Structure 1
């Protein structure tokens, strides 16, 4: 590993200090555990979730077999059911407050969430882009973020596996895995019900009941409701946004016909119907002034965190998720055979006022998405006392995506376009005068046709993804303390996709090069003849046909020379014959041009990727309490498809498309898909458990080749492979039990990321720069105290503090921006994020099963920007999403 630069030594010191804090207790802790015997953990009321466990008390399935957290030589964080309850962690977005290496960000809809581990991850905004972080619930892969959001009804634990996990988890885990494990049905009757009320009229109702049907069959049923008013007041519509309105049902059956066989069936349904997500203006531009001149409004720059936004329509986020899975386990001697079969559906309907103002510029931006997924996993694992244990298996994945969408102009679009056109032409043209001019140049009547309400783009996308993989991993124990692990995975991934769109946007369908050439040609003739009177020109042509023919030839040559040159190009050119095409300045207003459908005669609309990934690991037990390991692992993610109106042919296909006459008017080039993403990690780690003190340390050097970057530019997304990214870092997680009932925990992650090579980014060459949005330090400090009274009641106090060091939010550094970089992106460099969030709860757990909790999240009301982007249809303006404000409430829970 390369050494950490001196400039970052201060940041790394926090991590070193945290390691030392826990390790300093080690000798004392070891002596106390030897003298005092087992540590007694205070128990909550009957049938409560397991108390916060550490080390050998925590069972994890990070390697697809049950091991203790202490014994598994993998960088994994585990959050127990007890922590989820006491910290009021409602969904995966809240999990970041206790797992510092994880970042979860919800963006423009409830269906779009980004998961990041160790600084890298992707998958939001586009159904064709699979996440780099795989999410599994009870062993079933959830392929898209809309399928991963939900309240936690009966979770047993959440495991966050850091680093490439492709050997055992396949093509969707190139940077990590989130594995959610729920409680299986029990053969003893029991359950719990919970009711919670908080600010913004937040109401949460949920519960689970479980019990036996026969001696061999147990079932459980869980359900819940989560509602909350929006914390943002939309002063344009008068309603609130960033609300909660979701519910779920989840049923399970566990059949154990004999001692060798277990069958677990799970069915679930959830629904979300929310108004989300509010956007604030961070930096206005002259275009924003145009919006305000039309009577539209945006927030002031001093009101970014005032919980005020402006829209002219409420957002729509209707998401349905359902599925069924079956897991069969059968023990045959030292072998356990496992089959997991799952079928899932995810439907979402979204609409957004994408100009983020109270003016009606963009009348609608809808997407209707349908995802159907089938998965099948078969594996066999050993559990032998000998030196060798292994796991082998196969996995099949089949997914179909259908999506339609429409984006259309609103009632104020014409007035807004008129304002912009006047500015682009130095007030020499207006929208109506352009319509008159273009009508004369083309012979088509364009009066009232430009930017008319309802004109837009109708989109249709399809994707079929079929993949399979074979994997195996073996552990070979040498002596009593040394274990050598080797694993390999072969994955084959095939995708077939289709995209088409029809535009009714008249202005975007105009060929401004051709029309400008016509204008230049006529101007040449008028200048030569000294008149603009068409009757006089016609008379000259009739009287002098040969001369006029020659003049036309000269005019055509002049037009061909100048039609593709902008006026700024011409001004810089010394050739006096170049004057430039003034209409090219208007090309930036052609937001919805014609779309070249794929597949076509040149582009097949197919990808086919395959890859071998593997892991090699050596683990050694220094003592009964201390384990060390070193590993090398590789990861893989197949090509991601650009299922959006920003899908453009590759530059390499330009010549063939042109020669075959397939290119459409205003054809531009970009990408249809981003190629495969591969990753590698070198990692060394230490896991220590002295009973009263635990400490897990990992140091790693992780590299990603071809990272699939999806960057918003203000008018669309650019999907491209970054050449090479790397991140070096340290992670520490530790706990201390200084006295009975007390538990102190700390988690710190230090990251030093870098774009080793990213020449063709959306904002220019970013090679040798630090990627935006990745803080150097992410940390969590927590403490809990569980006091048991003589009667068996418990008073439980819990608090945690989450800190992320300041970081630039958007890409783009001085000296690394090319001429094509947008003004907004360049200006957005000052926007930075720093996170300081404190959470706390107080619980009274009574012996009879009733618990009362008072809780608060983000108690200091720390506000920060989640992301920053160019405002659509407002050149030079910058917008962003803000974090959630302080929330608090009370919860009652009864266990039976």
Structure 2
């Protein structure tokens, strides 16, 4: 949200020496010259990527084609500092750079990694993951980028750039067939409409059968089914004025995403019994066999348009980017991931409408001083309707659990009778929660950079951004879970406590005394309240809506982010730089059934008579994140080689942690998380036609302070999910035959050292989570023959090693002791035909 938007498109820094954003593109390099002639465009000037003092990785169109990168999830195989996690649906994807990133699973949580497509910010992951036709490049900017990108770039930026319309008629069409009956078709056509008007029109279709099997339903699952169209018009009525209009629509309709059983807890015996057979493929996460009661659905529509106007005023350039976007995501999932019908529905119907406007003025003076100044406005509306309802098996499942918890003394009918509840009211099929959430977010910022050429080789760049962010939110949540609405500590249940105590063998006088004094314990140390152990089964308690007389349902933040950078040209081919930068991410709102009053507000809520049964403190919103980085780097570009090296210390205060606990999500601010890191990437062409590349990232991360995590005090510990070492290496060899036919062979390899997958697991010993680790070893390859008539034929494979790992794990829903996880995608391969004209 603030500012960041458009700075991608083109004009960003000023000064001939050091733009703050990298816009890399192939500068007319041939297909045999990968990576060394990347050009940065800033203020309508060209500059090599090596001259840009910022840590940025670029995947060109050739890289994307050769590696068969289909979407942002695949991009991590080429950028070792980037990690992309596919979560429980096609609408939930988490982007992490240098170990920092969040934002999925809750529409009120803004991401720490900003994603932009042609300069337009995509505020939520549902708007980011569709396939795009006619890509030109993808840039990954590492570290805080809030000076130019505003409040949602506290960890970094992913910038996707598509090709502009051309005045020469041309285009391409591509068709792919792969295993799992995968069919992908992409096409693009561009050309002139008039002397000063050009167009482009692209489309894509991507369909694949599921690579997993639901043995209960007899269906393939985790399929792929998406398509999209994208049109552009480029008006250039004069040499000084350029207007680029873009409109797009894409649709996803998929069954995603399976969760495998990692640890089989004691409840598996019960779910097997209820399912009448196998309910989970116990402790076999890579069998790709699951058992569900209904197919999970993901229907996502993402559409919008933008207008970018560039006006050349001579020594000044004016740029305006206006955009409006809508996202509609309707998902439903069998979220207990078992053959027992425990959760009959878990649906989320989300609507996001976003308007952005950026205006900036950039100088291009001949003197030592240049500037960029601009403003940014963001307005977003979010509406979500969520529903979670018990399935047909939840009542007998709850009955079995309560009998086990009470040693056979209690069952659900006994509880209903003793507590005065109607018969068949506890855990009734179809009961649960109906939830409505609303949020409006308005933000604006002013920003600028100043470049000062201290000498011909030394440049100082200063930047600043003031952001103001306001959010208003409201909830309307109704729980029909009768059992969760009962206060098991209420004095009205004293007779029931006495009855149970007598039934347990305690003499009547003692039982009466203990029942009247529920804080006392029995001689064996157990609670005098025999119902206390049943509180764990109160899954969906009554909800205190916001706003109310204590909680206004508003949050407002303001922040000034700034950066200072020195860059020095050691030689014509080697540059060094040093940077200090701060970043900011505004407060995030907990738009979920786990939203609870802050501990500081709870006494006033109770005093005001607003408390609902079983109300406890939690999180309505998380405070802002504040990041900073100290970084030094070196960039070099020679005729046959190039390298980039960065050493940094990066930290985020108040990191917004959103952790799944088994029944919901715990949103909390970590005190501080920091990372020391070293990043290297380089390429070399030892002989004509051969290009070798290597990228290595080393990260030493820790929680400096995280006292109130969902799993206790994590201060001093290493955050989960961040490998110490990540490596991406590859090579491309192009051989040109007589007559012009070319053969292109490509191979790349991705490695991540073993790392703990999650910080902890609710109700399980810390050692369980510590022993569950992820290690990645993935090999991709392709071979293409390009004929002189524009036809290309190729074969390819991704994850040829069939590497298997868990992207994330979590407590199985309402199944204490069981752990579920999302397995990686298996080996894929296919053939591709492409025709360029």
Q: Which of 821, 825, 828 is the equivalent residue of 2:769?
A: 828
Q: Which of 409, 412, 420 is the equivalent residue of 1:431?
A: 412
Q: How many residues align?
A: 809
Cα offset, 1:372, TM superposition: 0.2
1:806-863 Cα offsets, whole Å, 9 max, x none, are 0111114xxxx9xxx5127652321100000000000000111000110000001010
Query: Which residue of structure 2 aligns with residue 347 of structure 1?
Result: 328
Q: Which of 683, 705, 728 is the equivalent residue of 1:780?
A: 728
Query: Which residue of structure 2 aligns with residue 230 of structure 1?
Result: 210
Cα offset, 1:638, TM superposition: 0.2
Aligned residue for 2:336, secondary structure, equals coil
Query: Which residue of structure 2 aligns with residue 467 of structure 1?
Result: 443
Cα offset, 1:519, TM superposition: 2.4
Query: Which residue of structure 2 aligns with residue 286 of structure 1?
Result: 266
Aligned residue for 1:743, secondary structure, equals strand
Query: Retained in 1: the 8 A contact 2:272–2:339?
Result: no
TM-aligned CA distance change 1:278 to 1:182, over 3 Å? same
Q: TM-score, normalised by structure 2?
A: 0.94
Query: Which residue of structure 1 aligns with residue 105 of structure 2?
Result: 125
Query: Which residue of structure 2 aligns with residue 863 of structure 1?
Result: 804
Distance 1:261 1:792 in 2: 39
Cα offset, 1:556, TM superposition: 9.7
Aligned residue for 2:50, secondary structure, equals coil
1:630-680 Cα offsets, whole Å, 9 max, x none, are 000000000000000000001111110011100101111110000000100
Q: Which of 495, 500, 519 is the equivalent residue of 2:471?
A: 495
Matches within 5 A, 1:247-258: 247-258=227-238
Query: Which residue of structure 2 aligns with residue 484 of structure 1?
Result: 460
Query: Retained in 1: the 8 A contact 2:285–2:821?
Result: no
Quick check: 475-484 or 761-770, which moved more?
475-484
Query: Retained in 1: the 8 A contact 2:186–2:205?
Result: yes
Cα offset, 1:517, TM superposition: 3.7
Distance 1:74 1:501 in 2: 46
Query: Which residue of structure 1 aligns with residue 278 of structure 2?
Result: 297
Query: Which residue of structure 2 aligns with residue 87 of structure 1?
Result: 67
Distance 2:54 2:39 in 1: 13
Aligned residue for 2:76, secondary structure, equals helix
Query: Which residue of structure 2 aligns with residue 753 of structure 1?
Result: 701
Q: Which of 344, 354, 359 is the equivalent residue of 1:373?
A: 354
TM-aligned CA distance change 1:112 to 1:524, over 3 Å? closer
Q: Which of 358, 371, 378 is the equivalent residue of 1:397?
A: 378
Distance 1:232 1:66 in 2: 48
Query: Which residue of structure 1 aligns with residue 678 of structure 2?
Result: 730
Aligned residue for 2:338, secondary structure, equals coil
TM-aligned CA distance change 1:203 to 1:162, over 3 Å? same
Aligned residue for 1:844, secondary structure, equals strand
Query: Retained in 2: the 8 A contact 1:41–1:740?
Result: no
1:541-590 Cα offsets, whole Å, 9 max, x none, are xxxxxxxxxx9xx999865631x56x68x7449xxxxx610011111011
Query: Which residue of structure 2 aligns with residue 165 of structure 1?
Result: 145
Cα offset, 1:385, TM superposition: 2.2
Distance 2:609 2:547 in 1: 15
Cα offset, 1:358, TM superposition: 1.0
Cα offset, 1:521, TM superposition: 7.2
Distance 1:175 1:211 in 2: 39
TM-aligned CA distance change 1:360 to 1:636, over 3 Å? same
TM-aligned CA distance change 1:526 to 1:358, over 3 Å? closer
Aligned residue for 1:792, secondary structure, equals coil
Query: Retained in 1: the 8 A contact 2:546–2:552?
Result: yes
Cα offset, 1:80, TM superposition: 0.2
Query: Retained in 2: the 8 A contact 1:296–1:357?
Result: no
Query: Which residue of structure 1 aligns with residue 252 of structure 2?
Result: 272
Distance 1:167 1:274 in 2: 38
Cα offset, 1:239, TM superposition: 1.0
Q: Which of 535, 541, 563 is the equivalent residue of 1:587?
A: 535
Matches within 5 A, 1:477-626: 477-514=453-490, 517-519=493-495, 559=515, 561-562=517-518, 571-572=524-525, 580-626=528-574
Q: Which of 213, 223, 240 is the equivalent residue of 1:243?
A: 223
- Between structures 1 and 2, the one with greater strand share: 2
- Between structures 1 and 2, the one with greater helix share: 1
Query: Retained in 2: the 8 A contact 1:640–1:676?
Result: yes
Query: Retained in 1: the 8 A contact 2:757–2:772?
Result: yes
Cα offset, 1:395, TM superposition: 0.3
Aligned residue for 1:289, secondary structure, equals helix
Distance 2:176 2:452 in 1: 50
Distance 2:502 2:241 in 1: 91
Cα offset, 1:475, TM superposition: 1.1
User: Aligned Cα RMSD in Å?
Assistant: 2.2
1:510-539 Cα offsets, whole Å, 9 max, x none, are 111116743267659999xx999xxxxxxx
Query: Retained in 1: the 8 A contact 2:684–2:691?
Result: yes
Q: TM-score, normalised by structure 1?
A: 0.88
Query: Retained in 2: the 8 A contact 1:62–1:161?
Result: no
Distance 2:161 2:231 in 1: 15
State which structure, 1 or 2, has the greater radius of gyration over its C-alpha atoms.
1
TM-aligned CA distance change 1:347 to 1:625, over 3 Å? same
Query: Retained in 2: the 8 A contact 1:319–1:346?
Result: yes
Matches within 5 A, 1:59-70: 59-60=39-40, 67-70=47-50
Aligned residue for 2:199, secondary structure, equals strand
Query: Retained in 1: the 8 A contact 2:280–2:339?
Result: no
Q: Which of 185, 194, 205 is the equivalent residue of 2:165?
A: 185
Aligned residue for 2:175, secondary structure, equals strand
Cα offset, 1:251, TM superposition: 0.2
Matched, 1:692 2:673: no
Distance 1:877 1:531 in 2: 39
Aligned residue for 1:823, secondary structure, equals coil
Cα offset, 1:765, TM superposition: 0.3
Query: Which residue of structure 2 aligns with residue 26 of structure 1?
Result: none
Query: Which residue of structure 2 aligns with residue 545 of structure 1?
Result: none
Q: Which runs of 5+ in 2 are unaligned?
A: 1-26
Aligned residue for 2:270, secondary structure, equals helix
Aligned residue for 2:267, secondary structure, equals helix
Cα offset, 1:75, TM superposition: 0.3
Distance 2:170 2:113 in 1: 35
Query: Retained in 2: the 8 A contact 1:330–1:337?
Result: yes
1:772-820 Cα offsets, whole Å, 9 max, x none, are 11000001010010111111110000000000000111114xxxx9xxx
Cα offset, 1:481, TM superposition: 0.5
Matches within 5 A, 1:738-887: 738-812=686-760, 821-823=762-764, 827-887=768-828
TM-aligned CA distance change 1:875 to 1:824, over 3 Å? farther
1:349-408 Cα offsets, whole Å, 9 max, x none, are 000001100111100001100000000000011122221111110000000000011100
Cα offset, 1:719, TM superposition: 0.2
Aligned residue for 2:490, secondary structure, equals helix
Query: Retained in 2: the 8 A contact 1:296–1:359?
Result: no
Distance 2:104 2:402 in 1: 34
Distance 2:770 2:29 in 1: 50
Cα offset, 1:240, TM superposition: 1.5
Distance 1:200 1:824 in 2: 39
